[in-house]
Amino acid sequence: MDWDALIRDEVAPLVPYAPGLRASEVRTRIGGGEVHKLSSNENPYGPVPAALDAMSAVLPHLNRYPDGSVRALRARLVRHLGVEDRFIAVGNGSNEILRVIANAVLRPGDEVVYAWPSFVVYPMVAQVMGATAVPVPLTADQTHDLDAMLAAVTERTRIVFLCNPNNPTGTYVSRDAMQRFLDALPDTVLVVLDEAYIEYVTAPDFPDGLDFFDGTRPLVVLRTFSKIYSLAALRVGYGIMPEPLIAAVNKVREPFNVNTVAQIAAHYSLDDAAEIERRRLENAAQRDRLYEAFSSLGITFFASEANFVWIHDDDAQELFDLLLAQGVIVRSFGALPALRVGVGSPEDTDATIRAFQRALTQRASSHE
């Protein structure tokens, strides 16, 4: 069998998504002890109590297929968001929605514009469809360069991905800047606004993507239950998009793509607004503690509106290894001189600060 001839050419250059190291792997590597996994932007707390109770109740009924139309969750999202049911698509995580939008929209030779660094799935879904990925570097302060992104748009551009707050930097596009950007784009370009971290935001000028959605404009607003709602293992996200795109997405998505446990957990997660607000405020407090520590240690960092902080370091891989040896897992980005440090519980923050202090001391001693 000539596998090279069998497999599509577009697949060959792709690199599989590499998840962060698991706590069990690191525990084995360092010979036991406490491990703090801060590499995957997960919430440090489990699902809200109402979601746990609802999941337990549905377990005896898993012999039945899930609701393929996700009716109950969509109805709950109508009440939560104030949008009409006809505009809501639910997927196996917002990742799946990114992929099926690409499947429905992109043709070979089309172009996809996005900031870089940003979410690695954007170039992946472009390339697998034979489209051209057009990355636009962030500005020096690690924010989207909207003017450069507009300049990168051509007659072949079909999709612009915009992650707000941006992953991995945590920086954001303000409300006024977003309005100017959307108004300047031609109506032949679909904007996919990825708001996976919006529930963590505290900035008063942060834009809610739904304020720009009118059902006609070529705009998708993506959100997820994986982050503040702590349902990462269940894979459930949703998108708000115009009806013609909903129809196309439903044609190319998998049937029964959102399992029953995920549907019911997401539904009941929306009932505990007080707990979500508590998590938002605690995340902000722990983020501020990291800022203070990084400032005192002379570490370059960028203010974040998410549950992670982006830091720059000339030898990021060495720093990553020194932190890992102490049981603190952050995210490395290969050749980039940067690390993404997750924001966790107060105990996670204590361990992170201690690990950075020791790591920098060790590095200074080794370089003498």
pLDDT tens string 151-198: 999 999 999 999 999 999 999 999 999 999 999 999 999 999 999 999
Q: 301 phi and psi, to 5 degrees?
A: -135, 170
Where does residue 155 rank: exposed (0-12), middle (13-18), buried (19+ CB within 10 A)?
exposed
- Quote the crossing angle between the two packed helices 23-30 and 316-324, to the nearest 10°: 80
Query: Is the domain defined by 19-46+273-366 classed in CATH 3.40.50.300?
Result: no
Q: 260 phi and psi, to 5 degrees?
A: -60, -45
CB 316 within 8 A of CB 340: no
Query: Is the domain defined by 49-269 classed in CATH 3.40.50.720?
Result: no
Question: Three-state SS for 36?
Answer: strand
Q: Quote the mean pLDDT of the chain.
A: 94
Placement of tokens 């748009």 in the chain:
153
Give the bridge partners for 136, in sequence order: 115
Q: How far is CA 364 from CA 322, 338, 359, in A?
A: 12, 18, 9
Give the pLDDT confidence of 111-128 residue by residue, as tens digits.
999 999 999 999 999 999
Boundaries of every domain in the chain: 19-46+273-366, 49-269
Q: Check residue 285 and give its pLDDT.
A: 98
End-to-end CA distance of the chain: 57
- Quote the crossing angle between the two packed helices 243-252 and 93-105, to the nearest 10°: 100
Tokens of 346: 């107060």
Tokens of 251: 């044609």
Placement of tokens 């996700």 in the chain:
70
Position 26 pLDDT exceeds 80:
no
Q: Check residue 13 and give its pLDDT.
A: 79
CA–CA gap between residue 172 and residue 178 (Å, rounded): 10
Q: Check residue 368 and give its pLDDT.
A: 63
Position 215 pLDDT exceeds 90:
yes
β-strand pairing of 36-37 with 300-302: unpaired
Q: Check residue 23 and give its pLDDT.
A: 76
Question: Three-state SS for 23?
Answer: helix
Contacts of 314 (CB under 8 A, 6+ apart): 337
Share of the chain above pLDDT 90, in %: 88
Give the pLDDT confidence of 76-91 residue by residue, as tens digits.
999 999 999 999 999 9
CB 265 within 8 A of CB 231: yes
| Residue in 193, 269, 271, 202 with CA at minimum distance from that of residue 236 | 269
Position 16 pLDDT exceeds 90:
no
Give the pLDDT confidence of 265-278 residue by residue, as tens digits.
999 999 999 999 99
Position 252 pLDDT exceeds 90:
yes
Position 142 pLDDT exceeds 90:
yes
Q: Do domains 19-46+273-366 and 49-269 have the same CATH topology?
A: no
Where does residue 102 rank: exposed (0-12), middle (13-18), buried (19+ CB within 10 A)?
buried
What is the reported pTM? 0.93
Q: What is the dihedral angle through the alpha carbons of 46, 97, 170, 289, rounded to the nearest 10 degrees?
A: 0
| Residue in 174, 223, 178, 179 with CA at minimum distance from that of residue 198 | 223
CA–CA gap between residue 213 and residue 284 (Å, rounded): 28
| Residue in 225, 149, 200 with CA at minimum distance from that of residue 344 | 200
CB 308 within 8 A of CB 341: yes
Instruction: Quote the distance between the C-alpha of residue 221 and its chain's center.
Output: 13
Helix (H) or strand (E) holding 252: helix 243-252
